[in-house]
A and B are shown apart, each in its own frame.
Chain A
Amino acid sequence: MKNGAVLTVNDLRVYYDTPAGTVKAVDGVSFDLRPGERLGLVGESGSGKSTMALALMRMHKPPARIAGGEVLLDGVGDVMELDDEGLRRIRLDRLALVPQGAMNSLNPVMRVRDQLADGIRTHEPGDDRDALTARIRAQLARVGLDADVGGKFPHELSGGMKQRVAIAIGTSLSPSVIIADEPTSALDVVVQRQVMETLRSVQEEIGASVLIVGHDMGLMAQIADRMGVMYAGKLVELAPVHDLFTNPQHPYTRLLIESVPTLMAKRALASIPGAPPTLINVPPGCPFHPRCPSAFEPCDSEVPLPTSQNGRVVSCHLYPGEAA
């Protein structure tokens, strides 16, 4: 595995076949996930970020299909090549998902402890009953929940508690990679802060790497070590979070940051002109060129290739650097 990454994504393509044509939801995305890091991935709705998160675990649903690329998981190999049994083995154990809106991802007719036990029993049979109970208790405590939550059904829990249960399940086998898809999108700010603190402490405790997918720039600024920006199925920029916010390179990243209202100063709210393209009809060249204030002559015809500099990757004709 190159440069010790836990997960390496190479030129991943996920397409949807629809009657109207092929939708390139993820179109040649490449990045590394380093040991122990929190990598944030932002994008607007329709940018392909959630499709990609699910495709990394091959949990995408038809009509989505993997149209190319590889996802190399340290010690396992290409996840895209695994058979069903191989996939079953690594899911949860090595590569776990903390889904969006735990309200809909928990089984409504199963007690929390049974949902936690399910994964543990399947992957690591052999614990006797007491050992399993102790493990479930410890796992609930790890995410800040009382042991009696184990005996409850999801509808008896608040939104924040459900999201904690989802984190408890996702981390129950100490996976090396956690994929968190909008883990706090439906929660109030205070609860969101608590849940993110929980996710961070569990992740640090088990030494996992996290890929956090979301749309909230503020949340990403606070939680991520590095951050990627997706637009129209492409990863347009990837950089350490501090660099990205202080010195965004891609015009889309810059405009996106400027459009986020802050408490620092009152100003006329900036917005990005135009609308994101529908992925069925992506503009030729750079997909952002119709909305880009810096577009120049190659932008409407040539697709910019990712170039890398000082640990940052950007796909924009303004930065003709070394190919990444």
Chain B
Amino acid sequence: MTAFLEMTNVSKVFSAGIIRRQHTVAVDDVTMTIDEQSPSILAVAGESGSGKTTLARLLLGVIPPSSGEVIYRGQSVDDLSREQRRTYLREIQPIFQDPFESYNPFYKVDHVLTVPAQKFQLAATKQETTRLIHEALDMVGLQPAETLGRFPHQLSGGQRQRVMVARAMLLRPRLIVADEPVSMVDASLRATILESIRRMKQELGISVVYITHDLTTAYQIADNILVMYKGSVVEAGSVEQVIRDPKHPYTQLLVSSIPQPDPSLPWGAEGEIAGDPESMEVAAVGCKFVDRCPVAFAPCAGQRPPLYHEHPSRAAACFRYDDAPTLEGENLDLVFERQLASQPASGSEEQAAN
């Protein structure tokens, strides 16, 4: 069985400077699989500089990897024929962070819905197109009558972002890559957007890669999570395991630094923050987190820790767990929990889409 989308040992290095060339490893040797049979929501979490957005762009095929391969239905994304690439571009849809930048202010919002419908020939007739658009808007909780025919500035940020979700859904993709879709949306409207993303998985059987810095929303909507630090995966597994019981000191720091909306809970623990969290320096050898780690010991500076499979649905790249076996082939799939798509709705959608 070929997987829908795979990344095998993918790295992305950005280089800058002419005389003193500097290299930044944005994504460092990541291997993962997204399959179609069991749609799931995967959160990719990390702070700025973690490489999470670069990972998203690699999945979307916007940038090529420096090494390793992104494989779409068994074929490297580089080698797709024109026809295959077209399908690839339809099957993987992005949702971006800024709900205003994604619009051309001179066009009505209808534009972002009708153009892709035409380009990908989703419907034979105009009535059919309209019906599909109305259906997609309904799905995200927008009234077509109150949304269509308006200019982007006439909608709120939350509404604009929901139109973007509807646009992605309209194309019946197999995978949606959402890069910080709610970070610019007000709290009271955030839930609606996250809820429509969750419905996409449940009702349409679409997998979602949810890129975020916010572990709380990741915990709420995702099934699995991958925590990145300076381009490397430091911890991965089910959200229950990784967020409720984090093992890597970096994940522990991230989780305890989230201010909880309850004044009786503490904010962080003593002595947890060491080093400069914003330093861009990365040690050439050893664990990337060693300078900031409160529990670093001898082996940490010597070599890079592999992912240890210390729980059936969790792996952490930290030498404290070296009595556990390493994660076979660094394949993150082994720790991710999947439910098989069982809802009849998603089955019929799948046939309709094919």
Do A and B make up one complex? Answer: yes
Interface, chain A (partner B; CB < 8 A): 44-45, 158-161, 188-194, 215-219, 221-223, 241-242, 245, 255-257, 259-264, 266-272, 275-276
Evaluate contact between B186 and A276: CB separation under 8 angstroms.
yes
Please provide the chain B residues from 234 to 275 with a CB less than 8 Å away from any CB of chain A in the complex.
Answer: 243-244, 253-255, 257-264, 267-268, 273
Evaluate contact between A269 and B277: CB separation under 8 angstroms.
no
Within the assembled complex, what's the spacing in Å between the Cα atoms of A44 and B188? 8
Please provide the chain B residues from 27 to 49 with a CB less than 8 Å away from any CB of chain A in the complex.
Answer: 47-48
Given A263-B215, A271-B189, are A217 and B261 also a contact pair (CB < 8 Å)?
yes
Within the assembled complex, what's the spacing in Å between the Cα atoms of A207 and B268? 24
Within the assembled complex, what's the spacing in Å between the Cα atoms of A46 and B276? 35
Select B259's contact among A221, A255, A271, beta carbons within 8 Å.
A221
Within the assembled complex, what's the spacing in Å between the Cα atoms of A217 and B188? 11
Given A189-B258, A190-B253, A222-B259, are A217 and B158 also a contact pair (CB < 8 Å)?
no
Evaluate contact between A218 and B258: CB separation under 8 angstroms.
yes
Within the assembled complex, what's the spacing in Å between the Cα atoms of A104 and B72? 42
Select B262's contact among A160, A262, A267, beta carbons within 8 Å.
A262
Given A219-B259, A221-B261, A262-B216, are A194 and B159 also a contact pair (CB < 8 Å)?
no
- CB B305 to nearest CB in A, in angstroms, measures 20
Within the assembled complex, what's the spacing in Å between the Cα atoms of A6 and B158? 38
Interfacial chain A residues near B268, Cβ < 8 Å: 193
Q: Could you name 6 residue pairs across A and B whose Cβ atoms are closer than 8 Å?
A: A160-B278, A188-B48, A191-B277, A260-B261, A261-B194, A269-B221
Interfacial chain A residues near B57, Cβ < 8 Å: none
Evaluate contact between A189 and B254: CB separation under 8 angstroms.
yes
Query: B348 at interface (Cβ–Cβ under 8 A)?
Result: no
Within the assembled complex, what's the spacing in Å between the Cα atoms of A268 and B253? 27
Select B260's contact among A221, A259, A267, A276, beta carbons within 8 Å.
A221
Inter-chain CB contacts under 8 Å: number: 122
Residues of B in contact (CB 8 Å), total 41
- CB A301 to nearest CB in B, in angstroms, measures 24
- CB A312 to nearest CB in B, in angstroms, measures 15
Select A261's contact among B159, B219, B267, B277, beta carbons within 8 Å.
B219
Given A190-B253, A218-B258, A221-B263, are A269 and B220 also a contact pair (CB < 8 Å)?
yes
Residue of A nearest to B276 (CB): A158
Query: B190 at interface (Cβ–Cβ under 8 A)?
Result: yes
Interfacial chain B residues near A217, Cβ < 8 Å: 187, 261
- CB A236 to nearest CB in B, in angstroms, measures 13
Query: B314 at interface (Cβ–Cβ under 8 A)?
Result: no
Evaluate contact between A189 and B257: CB separation under 8 angstroms.
yes
Evaluate contact between B264 and A242: CB separation under 8 angstroms.
yes
Query: B156 at interface (Cβ–Cβ under 8 A)?
Result: yes
Interfacial chain A residues near B277, Cβ < 8 Å: 160, 188, 190-191, 194
Interfacial chain A residues near B294, Cβ < 8 Å: none
Within the assembled complex, what's the spacing in Å between the Cα atoms of A271 and B188? 5
Interfacial chain B residues near A266, Cβ < 8 Å: 219-220
Evaluate contact between B258 and A263: CB separation under 8 angstroms.
yes
- CB B250 to nearest CB in A, in angstroms, measures 9
- CB B47 to nearest CB in A, in angstroms, measures 4
Most chain B beta-carbon contacts within 10 A, residue among A218, A219, A242: A218
Interfacial chain A residues near B157, Cβ < 8 Å: 45
Within the assembled complex, what's the spacing in Å between the Cα atoms of A52 and B277? 33
Within the assembled complex, what's the spacing in Å between the Cα atoms of A158 and B194? 31
Within the assembled complex, what's the spacing in Å between the Cα atoms of A270 and B187? 10
- A-B pairs, top 10 by smallest CB distance, nearest first, are A269-B191, A271-B191, A158-B278, A218-B259, A188-B47, A272-B188, A44-B186, A222-B259, A222-B267, A189-B257
Evaluate contact between A260 and B254: CB separation under 8 angstroms.
no
Select A263's contact among B194, B221, B244, B263, beta carbons within 8 Å.
B244
Within the assembled complex, what's the spacing in Å between the Cα atoms of A307 and B259? 30
Please provide the chain B residues from 171 to 203 with a CB less than 8 Å away from any CB of chain A in the complex.
Answer: 186-192, 194-195
Interfacial chain B residues near A190, Cβ < 8 Å: 47, 253-254, 257, 273, 277
Interfacial chain B residues near A269, Cβ < 8 Å: 190-191, 194-195, 220-221
Select B257's contact among A45, A192, A215, beta carbons within 8 Å.
A192
Residue of A nearest to B260 (CB): A218
Within the assembled complex, what's the spacing in Å between the Cα atoms of A160 and B48? 12
Evaluate contact between A263 and B267: CB separation under 8 angstroms.
no
Within the assembled complex, what's the spacing in Å between the Cα atoms of A159 and B47? 13
Evaluate contact between A222 and B263: CB separation under 8 angstroms.
yes
Given A45-B186, A263-B243, are A218 and B261 also a contact pair (CB < 8 Å)?
yes
Interfacial chain A residues near B276, Cβ < 8 Å: 158
Evaluate contact between B213 and A245: CB separation under 8 angstroms.
no
Interfacial chain A residues near B191, Cβ < 8 Å: 259, 261, 269-271
Query: B217 at interface (Cβ–Cβ under 8 A)?
Result: yes
- CB B306 to nearest CB in A, in angstroms, measures 25
Please provide the chain B residues from 203 to 238 with a CB less than 8 Å away from any CB of chain A in the complex.
Answer: 213, 215-217, 219-221
